Structure 1
């Protein structure tokens, strides 16, 4: 079952901090590897490097991916390998030195590519590697190690022949059972010693668990497929076509089994000690956006953990650089609410609310204003007006009216007093059915502001009130 993020329960975890036993999603750890100084993010809590588990955490069980393995071998990289093997088989003629060299070079490249398939899939890369990735100079050394494994296995079998036939049969069965584990260990560690160490191989099978034996059955069946295919169609092919068919089918099913071996490691990535590499270029953020996203993510995590001082430090530091960022300001305001810092809310609340108004976030200012207990005292008339307008739209009539009541007594020079009182009249009409108070306000506006641009609106409201009076 996939692990969920500790701070976003609906999101699958993409990162894990082993010391903290915390799981993080992509929102908690924003950006790409290139955004971090060491190419690897640190834990927001303990500041130690964290492990990427995105691919393994979301991986389906091995046995549910049957079609994936066969389609995997039809990608451009594997098809290039198939073409190389097929072409080489057509060029090989007899057992001359050139033919033998070509055969060995082809087998070495195919072997290297298949080991690369295991390595990349184990690391979480579901896209098949390009053929050029196998041309890294490791083909000959790894092929030599595969030959070494074969020779050592044959030598041990030869020695066991001196004991009994039963011992040899038991050894042959053990070789068959541990062969996938040996190839996987060689692909991941590139060590001949590790690949022939029976204790290492046994430990590997125990880490994988019972799906390993399912892997063994699947790879055994798929590995036998080229032989059965040749039996079915071999008699119908011309002699010159037999070698290419054998080469192509063997290469194809070899890649299929390698895909199986690589994928089964994916779900046990962490227990096997595999460090996955992220292909995350598209997640890269510019420096300003990354700093902002990281501050938001870390402050949320710290708040959830109850470390409000650290969260506040993180936000204040980022707000110094981005003072007008809406998300940072909202997070800071909510931090003050969460800590019930009444002094800060009393002193900073109106300033922060004014910021939201200035940033065209009046709805957010109204939301935060109502969330504050006790309600902050608003001295600036334009802020009271803007908040009241936003509250009116949200049908919070009582709070909107409180902000505008007696505004003319407290700020006679407010240049939008006519608009504020027309709004208050609308609040009385829609929210309280107080037509009497609305008429008084409209009369006040008509008398005190004869040149107001709102005369048409005043006329309309007065007609509405007149119609309501006739109806009653």
Structure 2
């Protein structure tokens, strides 16, 4: 059953809290350990159940093309080539027979590894080494035992109930064969693979898609048989034999890949959890970003309407790192949305600085407007911040508000190094923005008289000349000439 995240509808859930009956997606659980399948509920702090990618897996009937491409990846092609071509050059004696048996075992081992590999979320084939190294060769013997036991069950049914019961038993065995192969691949147990109750439960949990898959498998088997028959009837034996072996191995890998993907698709119903692993980068879970957990908590609390709690969280974060731009921006957005002028006044130096860094004149204008409501006659106490904020306002055409921030600057900050830049900005605002050239000239003259030691003093004559001609105050033009 598909579950969506409680906080992000449309995003598939990967974690479920049985205590809260809540489902969470990866965005809500950035600190979860998917490798160890461990996570604590952000609401009640209880351990949660990992659901894997069951809710976002593409149905197998939409991946038919991918199944047919599966054997043509490099690793399975090498396995098929070795198991098909090597017997052709092997000697026609006991050694040749042994080589053929070993390669047949390797091929069958690889096909069963495909089921496990795919069920674990690996959409690319296992490596070549899986076929020829390590344990697992006994899977062929186990499969033979399964066939023998199932044949015996059909025989017993014939002896006990006659032809009718035999036909029913045979029909169940044929229908349950894919389920038996899946169980054997996952559990490596003959008993589990032939237990009728076990197989019936697996089929019932998968439901209708199992029978759809069964139809595909029948078509694959028929296609494989027709292709091999065509090869034997239309090509010479030296070519048709390896071609037939290649086709048989290819169709077998397609079949087993489909069985593994069915397990992966219905992992939740079958009681296990896997993730798509081939395209995901390795992440060191010991180096998790705590900030991501904090952001997820903020997101969930906002969607739950816990605005006071979010505000408290952000204020605590700014106590630990007062200049964190991310938290300042989040607090600004929350306070403006809540029209909280009191808290805005408390944090206005950092918020205005953050807005100035982003050249957000509109944001500065809205904050100043709210601050004036909280404190009529509000003025900034930091000269540098006042100039930066006024410059952003000037660039956004907020001329009157820019002048207001710099009003009586020489009285409020008489010794500030920002006096010359402040009044030059006032002059540019008056001249360029409002066309008041005489007033602009007065402020430029003030800079010329009072700020003799400031670097801007040398440029004032150029500005005065521009003001006299009623030209835009832009200062001296850049020159790239090299002095003699």
**Aligned ranges 1:9-408 → 2 under 5 Å:** 12-13=11-12, 15-19=14-18, 20-25=21-26, 27-30=27-30, 40-47=38-45, 48-49=47-48, 51=50, 53-54=52-53, 56-87=54-85, 89-90=87-88, 96=94, 101-134=98-131, 137-162=134-159, 163-277=161-275, 279=277, 282=281, 284=283, 290-307=289-306, 311=310, 324-335=323-334, 344-354=343-353, 356=354, 361-363=357-359, 367=363, 370-371=366-367, 374-375=370-371, 378-408=380-410
Q: What is the count of residue pairs matched by the alignment? A: 458
For residues 13 and 472 of structure 2, the distance between their equivalents in structure 1, rounded to whole angstroms, comes to 64
Determine which structure has greater relative contact order: mean sequence separation of CA pairs < 8 Å that are 6+ residues apart, divided by chain length. Answer: 1
Q: 1:114 to 1:366 in 2, by over 3 A?
A: same
Mapped partners of 2:346, 2:108: distance in 1:
70
Q: Distance in 1 between matches of 2:184 and 2:252?
A: 16
> Could you tell me how far apart the structure 2 residues matched to 1:439 and 1:402 are?
18
Deviations 1:122-169 (A, max 9, x none): 332211111223456442343232122211110011112223333323
Q: Does the 8 Å contact 1:222/1:253 carry over to 2?
A: yes
Q: Structure 1 residues 185, 302: CA separation in 2 closer, same or farther (over 3 Å shift)? A: farther
SS of the residue corresponding to residue 15 of structure 2 reads strand
* Stretch deviating more after TM superposition (264-273 or 300-309): 300-309
Contact 2:15 2:48 in 1 (8 A): no
Q: Which runs of 5+ in 1 are unaligned?
A: 468-472
Q: Which moved more, 1:411-420 or 1:307-316?
A: 307-316
Distance 1:172 1:320 in 2: 73
Work out the CA distance in 1 between the residues paired with 2:368 and 2:283.
37
> Which range moves more in the overlay, 147-156 or 197-206?
197-206
| 385-394 or 345-354, which deviates more | 345-354
After superposition, give the CA deviation of every residue in 1:338-371 in whole Å (9 maximum; x if it has no partner): 67665543333324544x38xx824369737735
Cα distance in 1 for residues equivalent to 2:388 and 2:235: 85
Residues 274/93 of structure 1: CA separation in 2 closer, same or farther (3 Å cut): farther
Deviates more, 1:201-210 or 1:309-318: 309-318
Gap change, CA 1:188 and 1:242, over 3 Å in 2: same
TM-fit CA distance, 1:18 = 4.2
Decide which moves more: 259-268 or 83-92.
83-92
Check the 8 A contact 2:179/2:202 in 1, yes or no.
yes
* Counterpart in the other structure of 1:470: none
TM-score, scaled to structure 1: 0.80
State the shift of 1:113 in Å: 1.9
TM-score computed with the length of structure 2 as normaliser: 0.79
CA contact 1:295–1:315 (8 Å) conserved in 2: no
How big is the shift at 1:404?
A: 1.6
Name the CA distance, whole Å, in 2 between partners of 1:82 and 1:128.
13
Q: Distance in 1 between matches of 2:199 and 2:309?
A: 47
- Say if 1:285 and 1:164 are closer, same or farther in 2 by CA, change over 3 A: closer
